Amino acid sequence: MTFAAALLAIFGSAAALLSQISVQVGLVSVPVTVTGRGGQFVTGLRRENFRLTVDGAEQPIEYFTPEEEPARVLVLVETGPAVFLLKREHITAAGALLDGLAPGDRVAVAAYSDVPSLLLAFTTDKQQALASLNGLVYGIGTAQLNLYDSLAGAVAWSESSEGKYAIVALTTGLDSSGSGPGSWDRLAQQLRKSNALVLPVALGGDLRGVKMPRVPGSPGAEQKSFERSDAALRAIAAETGGQVFFPRSRKDFEEAYRRIASLLRHQYSLGFTVPAGEAAGREHSIAVQVVDDRGRPFDGKQAKPAYGVNYRRAFSVR
């Protein structure tokens, strides 16, 4: 199979690869955000205001984390040659993200081109995080962009920790490593094991939708389009319960970062137990609904507005 054919197969199967979250038998955590009709995040909800079903059957919510819990936020930045000339548009606006986080939120900074590298460990010092972002070194010349394996590595860093964990990925979405479907498989496996919320911020602005020029020395010199990378970023965000952003100007970046900070401040977490003896590999659907204090769903006909609920959609037992 040619590299071009393999790349098409990867993106064509992205939704299938990422359509289930696999966990060991035990507790399953479901990150949830709730918005009103105007798009504002809804605060102050309690355990009793959520109804969780698995395969259509209601499940007891065995643990519940309100939105006030501090988050750990990893800012993962692509530093390959593809963004060398674009670096100021997203880093200059990054202060909007850091300023919008809660004082107790911890931030780490990592960079990737061919492999991910942790540059700053988690800290509540937002100025230190901003200094780390401003000090990023970008590659020039030819280099591989290994987004899928790098993101899989970043997701794996959360495996031994509990609580809110989000990855804000500043990336073109391109992967030129030439490792084929295996990269998607590894990324999907990490997403299925982790409760990480992935929030991609697409770099490239007006260049998105335009085919990239050939990169000398990269495995397979076929042209790659932002259209495929956009589809990948949307799939990753959707399957982790996150959102993807496509800013074009510094103002757009600032608005995206403010939205991300607000989202992290208003994220709930619901948990339920997988029954012992559950067959491995079977996919289960998850649905989350917001209900009133009497357990009735808000359908838009009542005094309170209808709610939009964003959450993980499925899991499977390994």
Q: Could you list the residue range(s) of the whole structural domain that residue 115 is in?
A: 70-265
Give domain status of residue 250, yes or no.
Answer: yes
Chain centroid offset of residue 282 CA: 24
Same domain, 183 and 235: yes
pLDDT attached to residue 194: 72
Same domain, 91 and 237: yes
pLDDT tens-place string over residues 108-120: 999 998 888 999 9
Q: Stretch 210-232: mean pLDDT, rounded?
A: 56
pTM above 0.85, yes or no: no
Q: Stretch 214-230: mean pLDDT, rounded?
A: 54
State the amino acid at position 128 in one-letter form. Answer: Q
Same domain, 103 and 218: yes
Q: Stretch 95-119: mean pLDDT, rounded?
A: 91
pLDDT tens-place string over residues 43-75: 889 999 999 999 999 999 998 888 778 889 999
How far apart, in whole angstroms, are the C-alpha atoms of residue 177 and residue 253?
A: 27
135's tokens = 């000090």
Determine phi and psi for 16, rounding to 5 degrees: -70, -40
Same domain, 115 and 249: yes
Same domain, 58 and 160: no
248's tokens = 């074009």
Average pLDDT value over all residues in the chain: 77
pLDDT tens-place string over residues 137-179: 887 655 678 899 899 888 887 665 567 889 999 998 888 765 5
Determine phi and psi for 251, rounding to 5 degrees: -60, -40
pLDDT attached to residue 216: 43
Same domain, 255 and 199: yes
Confidence of residue 103 (pLDDT cuts 50, 70, 90): very high
- The percentage of the chain sitting over the pLDDT mark of 90, rounded to a whole number, equals 28
Same domain, 62 and 81: no
How far apart, in whole angstroms, are the C-alpha atoms of residue 200 and residue 169?
A: 5
Same domain, 188 and 295: no
256 burial class (0-12, 13-18, 19+ CB within 10 angstroms)?
A: buried
Give domain status of residue 191, yes or no.
Answer: yes
Least confident of 66-70, 208-212, 280-284, 312-316: 208-212
Same domain, 302 and 241: no
CB of 29 within 8 A of CB of 61?
no
How many domains, the chain?
2
Same domain, 94 and 172: yes
How far apart, in whole angstroms, are the C-alpha atoms of residue 95 and residue 126?
A: 9
The residue out of 221, 239, 265 marking a domain boundary is: 265
Mapping DSSP to helix (H, G, I), strand (E, B) and coil, where does residue 271 land? strand
281 compared with 127, residue with greater pLDDT: 127
Q: Stretch 269-275: mean pLDDT, rounded?
A: 84
How far apart, in whole angstroms, are the C-alpha atoms of residue 63 and residue 75?
A: 28
Give domain status of residue 17, yes or no.
Answer: no
Q: For residue 75, what are the β-bridge partners?
A: 109, 168
Q: For residue 31, what are the β-bridge partners?
A: 269
26 compared with 25, residue with greater pLDDT: 26
Q: Within a 13 Å sphere around the CA of 187, how many CA atoms are in the beta-carbon half?
A: 30
* DSSP one-letter code for 278: P
Helix (H) or strand (E) run with residue 296 in it = none
230's tokens = 């956009």
Chain centroid offset of residue 290 CA: 23
The residue out of 240, 265, 290 marking a domain boundary is: 265
Q: Which of 306, 318, 91, 64 is nearest to 194 (CA)?
A: 318
Give domain status of residue 18, yes or no.
Answer: no
285 compared with 293, residue with greater pLDDT: 285
Same domain, 51 and 177: no
